[in-house]
Amino acid sequence: MYFNSREERCKSPYGAVICGSQVALTLYAEPGEEIARAVLVAHGEFADSWEEIELSPPDAWGGMRCIYTAPTEPELVWYHFRISWKKGGEAFFGKNGFRSWEELATWQLTVYDGASETPEWFGNGVSYQIFPDRFRRSGTERDVRGMVGNRTLHRDWDEMLEYLPNAEGKITCSDFFGGDLAGIAEKLGYLRSLGVTTLYLNPIFEAASNHRYDTANYMRIDPLLGSEDDFRALCEQAKAFGIRVILDGVFNHTGSNSVYFNAEGWFPSVGAAQSEDSPYASWYHFTHFPDEYNSWWGFKTLPDLEETAPSYMDFIFEGKDSVVRHWLRAGASGWRLDVADELPGVFIERLRRAMDEEKPGSYLLGEVWEDGSNKIAYSTRRKYLLGAQTHSLMNYPFRNALLGYLLGGNAADFRESMETLRENYPPAAFYGAMNFLGTHDTPRILTVLGYRGAWPQSREERSRLALNAAERYRGVRLLKLAALVMFSFPGSPTIYYGDEAGMQGFEDPFNRATYPWGREDRELIAFFSRLGAVRNARASLQRGAIEYVYAEGPVLAFRRALGDEASLTVCNAGQDEAKLTLPWHGEFAFDALTGERLRVFGGLLHLTLEPMDGALLIGE
């Protein structure tokens, strides 16, 4: 038996389908196979519906066909075939061949609501992520005294951040460098020179810690960053550069030191930890008032929120001046949902609805670390991408697959991982994903690609470690390859601030150092700038279909095409020279990154790829 859900002769249309679509399925048997009956068995998971459709008898090529009509509501459909033999007996056929019912792997069909359009501006463009305290500080003098939390302020922008526990053995994240919104605004020209069209900011609201994921007040910009006027000015100035701003929505938990919980009594409001009659009491779940309560991963400084509490939903997105609506009106163009796995589906749906009402064309992105089309979180299958919730997700699967390939893996595995995602995701979600090499939650990409050997165990060791010359050479070459793939792949290529400048560092907090103004790797920045310019100039790299031309061992080649325009990315992640011959239309091929012109002989392009090198080829 043969069935490949990615081949048009077996399944059409390709991948996910809109509700109510007709899907043609063809199962192939060996000629002469004595088959009495073949049946498609389809299970709609959410509705727990089962449907069986008999396939036509085998034709001269062994093809047995049926038309399956997708459910009229968003659904995950799992399907396989049941085969009956003329000699008697029956068997189940799935992705892993003939298996018992218990061992059978079924195919996935994602059925989504195509009624609402996904804004193309995010997926088409280039994004840049900023950890606000560490990017750039303006000349504005600010005093942390009087600000929430026990803050300290570094005077020297380039000094080492705090990384050791305090006298009580706690990591407080209370040291600040004073990066601010005005500082970001000063560097909008630089960001635009990288080709950036979307600016994603880690939390900017008042909070006690430097990461600001412990929100103290959703309606106030942290005073060390500036004011609401500064935020509005940043959005207006960014707009003049063709840049939109996306904010980080941390709606699963607040800080214990916040207007709403107020465990330390810092704020004049009556917080949930102070009185069971607090207007915020229903927002939290206490197991023993006031000292025992649900918190994010057990961190008592991050009390969990009861997201479906009516007054909380009204505060976050339903009310006229709710958090989501207020900051969209102030200039934001979208939200990234922190820990989306921990937000109830109804919460995300209603937040999305509020965004669509308040600012049509705004973008909702979710933080999910796996394939979001079939993710199970807290024993519940999630519906992020079926039409009513997020537009798309952070693409951790892309990062994981790319690193696996670059660090000695097989290009075929990268292709398989990405084709699985392309097949499972609605097209708009696949083309609108946030692709990245690193974030505030991962070690710096240059360190990951360049460092050899076991990672240092202690924070003290990791704080001092830097790549040696050989490691940095290897890391930079592989980083250029990684960026080449990212900028030419479907989805929004996203730079974590400073990666383009050659920043190094292990995990948090070493991945959150200050941007090295005046000490940047200019050659690396020029490379990223060229990639950004090419990406923004070529429609094929923004919206073009993807086709893998070659993926074997250390060599990866894929083509993006839209209309008459095509772009070909070729990479050699290996330690040895690689040769590749590809069909090519035209007399010459040009490397869009170097300007090199390559002659084509007899319709064939003969490439020699140096170790850890690549090219982005275009026609005349």
Annotated catalytic sites, by residue?
338, 367
Exposed e or buried b for every residue in 271-294, given b needs 16+ CB within 10 A? bbbbeeebebbebbeeeeeeeebe
Q: Which amino acid type is present at position 469? A: A
Q: How far apart are CA 549 and CA 559, in angstroms?
A: 7
Q: How far apart are CA 441 and CA 52, in angstroms?
A: 45
Residues 6+ apart with CB under 8 A from 107: 3, 5, 78, 79, 80, 94, 95
Structure tokens belonging to residue 101: 């019912």
The conformation of residue 561, written as its DSSP 8-state character, comes to E
3-state secondary structure of 95: coil
Torsion sign over Cα 511, 516, 517, 520: negative
Q: How far apart are CA 210 and CA 132, in angstroms?
A: 9
Structure tokens belonging to residue 616: 């982005």
To the nearest 10°, report the CA torsion of 465, 471, 475, 477: 160
Q: Which of 532, 564, 531, 559 is nearest to 545 (CA)?
A: 559
Phi, psi of 37 (to 5 degrees): -165, 140
H and E: helices and strands count for the chain: 15, 34
Burial class of 482 by CB neighbour count within 10 A (0 to 12, 13 to 18, 19+): buried
